[in-house]
Amino acid sequence: MADDLDMLRADIEAAMAGAEDLRALDAVRVAALGKSGQVTALLKGLGALPPDERRARGAEVNVLKGEIERALENRRVMLEAFALDARLAAERLDVSLPPRPTPPAGPEAGSIHPISRTMEELIALFGAMGFAVAEGPDIEGDWHNFSALNIPDHHPARQDHDTFYLTAQEGGRRPVLRTHTSPVQIRTMLSQEPPIRVIVPGRTWRADHDATHSPMFHQVEGLVIGRDIHMGHLKGTLVDFLRAFFGIADLPVRFRASYFPFTEPSMEVDIGWSRKTGELGQGGDWLEILGSGMVHPKVLANAGIDPRMWQGFAFGMGIERITMLKHGIPDLRPFYEADLRWLRHYATSPLSPFTLHDAA
């Protein structure tokens, strides 16, 4: 190869070796093979040569061009590998490092509201007994909230519920803010094949306001449907739950005959406490805590389940109420007042989620 071409190749190879990254290498490529690059200029210059010289020189310049192209490609592959190694080294993450020594404190940290915390506990405790979570809308139809639950028109229970009514669509019945979570019993039975085992934590509404009542409050419903679910299952489930939730292994629990239109027989459930000190588990007094019963055959039939083949139990309780009892909270109203002093006292850290280890 002609000396000038050898020298040019040596120059370009030196420049390539000195290119430390892909951008520098590209500058070398442009200087050699770009529109006004050195090799390109040689190729353009061929036209000015006499034909016999042109052929030999042309072949040599093309060989040089091919060599430079290959060398550029090799260098590019090498620089890309270097770049990847450098990135891997820079982005290394040590997963064995200990967590941040001091979690964020104060208002920025946020905290879990006691209602949310109780819901987490309900989901964990009933979840361990095989219950899934079901949900329904806050705005209900009259049928779901009342009629399907065997609460007919003019039934006194309709008045008891102090219902918030909404404006009716033309010709229809007034929708309501659901007065209990029981309509989700109906929705669940209509949408799922039995056997069924669900709890329904959610908002409920009644026109009532004092130290122990709020127009918006929360309930948790329970529904179990099976071929041979009987009252023993109801009692065992609720006794186990109440003892685990309140953390008192021998908490006295009493089942007292009562009436709900949607269960038969119906029972209210009381737990033992001291009226004087407010302490749970001892003292010889009883405190009503929830309603329960065997699902009424008419309710099963209303929800499309054959009561000759299936039976089960349901229960409902107030989430604020069990939260107040568990934590000794005397007044219901601060639950919704967003008072940071109250929240700092009763809320829990988002860094310590409830687990079954926290239960009795």
Contacting positions for ligand PHE (CB under 6 A): 180, 182, 221, 260, 263, 291-293, 314-316
Give the C-alpha separation, 44 to 58, whole Å. Answer: 10
> Closer to ligand PHE at the Cβ: 245 or 315?
315
Residues paired with residue 176 on neighbouring β-strands, in sequence order: 140, 165
Nearest to ligand PHE of 58, 265 (CB atom): 265
Residues 6+ apart with CB under 8 A from 71: 12, 13, 16
Find tokens 């449907």 and name the residue: 225
If the CB atoms of residues 75 and 178 are measured against ligand PHE, the closer one turns out to be 178
| Least gap, CB of 182 to ligand PHE (angstroms) | 4
| Distance of closest approach, residue 255 Cβ to ligand PHE, in angstroms | 12
Task: Classify 147 as helix, strand or coil.
Answer: helix
Q: Which is nearer to ligand PHE, 260 or 346 (CB)?
A: 260
Q: Please answer whether residues 305 and 194 qualify as being in contact, where contact means their C-beta atoms are separated by less than 8 angstroms.
A: yes
Q: Which segments of 52-143 are extended strands (E)?
A: 132-133, 139-140
What span, in angstroms and rounded, lies between the C-alpha atoms of 30 and 37?
A: 6
- The CA-based dihedral angle spanning residues 57, 63, 69, 71, taken in that order and rounded to the nearest 10 degrees: -120
Nearer to ligand PHE, 272 or 316 (CB): 316
SS3 of 20, please?
Answer: coil
Is 182 or 237 the residue whose CB approaches ligand PHE more closely?
A: 182
User: How far is it, in rounded angstroms, from Cα 72 to Cα 248?
Assistant: 77
- CB count within 10 Å of CB 201 equals 22
How many helices, marked H, and strands, marked E, lie in the chain? 12, 9
Among all residues, whose Cβ is closest to ligand PHE? 316
Closest distance of CB 321 from ligand PHE, Å: 11
| Cβ 267 to ligand PHE shortest distance, Å | 8
**CB-wise, 117 or 161, nearer to ligand PHE?**
161
Distance, CA of 317 to CA of 201 (rounded, Å) = 10
